[in-house]
Amino acid sequence: MKKIMNSPNAPAPVGPYNHSVAFNGVLYASGQIALDPTTGQMIQEDIEQETHQVMKNIKALLDNASIGFEDIIKCSVFVSDMNNYSRINTVYATYFDDETAPARELVEVARLPKDANVEISIIAALPKG
């Protein structure tokens, strides 16, 4: 049976979905954009700050499931401008260890919710038991 897992420390979903769903030892997390969970405002001073906020929102989902970045199996990264690839990648890399970094794709898309420049969704392993 699937278990809905919403975090009080992540921004409220902007549509008819939940933060994440646990099923068969796997956490499937919805895409996160750079919404500040306290104010609901987008953090978009620059692409680095925007990416950090996305990763902070992902951390809130991981914390809620009692797991960490090392438990992420797969990341899907969506960007509005491939020219920001290296700047996003530099920030993204600070959250992972080379030995435990997940599989990933990074794809340019025409537009993201709330005109975000980056959105990241994850799949992570949950602890047994």
Give tens-digit pLDDT for 54-100. Answer: 999 999 999 999 999 999 999 999 999 999 999 999 999 999 999 99
Pick from 86, 89, 83, 80: nearest CA to 107: 80
- Give, to the nearest 10 degrees, the angle between helix 85-93 and helix 47-64: 40
The answer to whether residues 54 and 22 touch, using CB atoms and an 8 Å cutoff, is no
Q: Which domain holds residue 93?
A: 3-125
How many structural domains are present in the chain? 1
Per residue in 22-37, pLDDT (tens digit) is 999 999 999 999 999 9
CATH classification at residue 10: 3.30.1330.40
pLDDT mean across residues, the chain: 97
